[in-house]
Amino acid sequence: MTQAAKMKVSDEVAISIDQMNKWYGTFHVLRDINLTVYRGERIVICGPSGSGKSTLIRCINALEEHQAGRIEVDGTRLSSDLKNIDKIRSEVGMVFQHFNLFPHLTILENCTLAPIWVRKTPRKEAEETAMHFLEKVKIPEQADKYPGQLSGGQQQRVAIARSLCMRPRIMLFDEPTSALDPEMIKEVLDTMIELAEEGMTMLCVTHEMGFARQVANRVIFMDAGQIVEQNEPEEFFNNPQSDRTKLFLSQILGH
């Protein structure tokens, strides 16, 4: 186990989800979700495709609306109040499977846009912060290029830097490496590991089990809109309890 996984987690609550339910029309996507995330926790969410993993983390920053139950992020209750939503969104960073960089802006502009317009940071300061984080993800030399000129791995690292520029207290990752060629997955995972080691609260939807073993302090398995099993990584991988977890693990680990 690495340093990150052993790191002490505080007992300050970052996210608390209580009896949350969501429907798409009549389709019940998320059922009775209860989840408490403590500050500094690194949680990996896995599960078969269509099990509601993306929907769950998208509910946390209100990209999706939930219909029942409550979600509190950093002590702020998510409601339909726009002010609350914008506040939570600026505290919670999100990294998408398809990067979703702004193609008409340079890398630097991608990173400074939200700090300037949402945080009202002066441009110069925002640019300094952006360069700091671009150095951290190891691509400061690309600052003046456009996203289309970068490789997938580089784009995803820019997307991470863009989120970090808002100095979020929580980071959400939705399959950040699934759209990448194999040789680029490592560079993105390394960035995420570094972030974890600094104590960032992270929720990652990913099927990178090596990453889960290395940095996660909790692994959550979802199926059919429910949390089926959650445990420490060692226990989760070596001693899965539910049959569905066993089946899933055998499908993605053993061939």
Ligand X SMILES: Nc1ncnc2c1ncn2[C@@H]1O[C@H](COP(=O)(O)OP(=O)(O)O)[C@@H](O)[C@H]1O
Give yes or no for residue 252 binding ligand X (CB under 6 A).
no
* DSSP for residue 145: S
* DSSP for residue 161: H
User: What is the C-alpha to C-alpha distance for residues 204 and 211, in angstroms, rounded to an integer?
Assistant: 10
Q: Decide whether 51 or 191 has the Cβ nearer to ligand X.
A: 51
Query: With contact defined as beta carbons under 8 Å apart, do 205 and 127 qualify?
Result: no
Site string for another protein, 143-172 (x = CB under 8 A): ---xxxx------------xx--x------
Positions 48 through 77 that interact with Mg ion (CB under 5 A)? 54
Return the residue matching tokens 């609260």: 201
**DSSP per-residue string spanning 124-143:** HHHHHHHHHHHHHTT-GGGT
Q: Decide whether 4 or 20 has the Cβ nearer to ligand X.
A: 20
Give yes or no for residue 113 binding another protein (CB under 8 A).
yes
Segment interacting with another protein (CB under 8 A) among 16-24, 90-98, 175-183, 189-197 = 90-98
Q: Decide whether 64 or 194 has the Cβ nearer to another protein.
A: 64
Give yes or no for residue 173 binding another protein (CB under 8 A).
no
In degrees rounded to 5, what are phi and psi of residue 29? Answer: -80, -45
Q: Which residues bind ligand X (CB under 6 A)?
A: 24, 27, 29, 47, 49-55
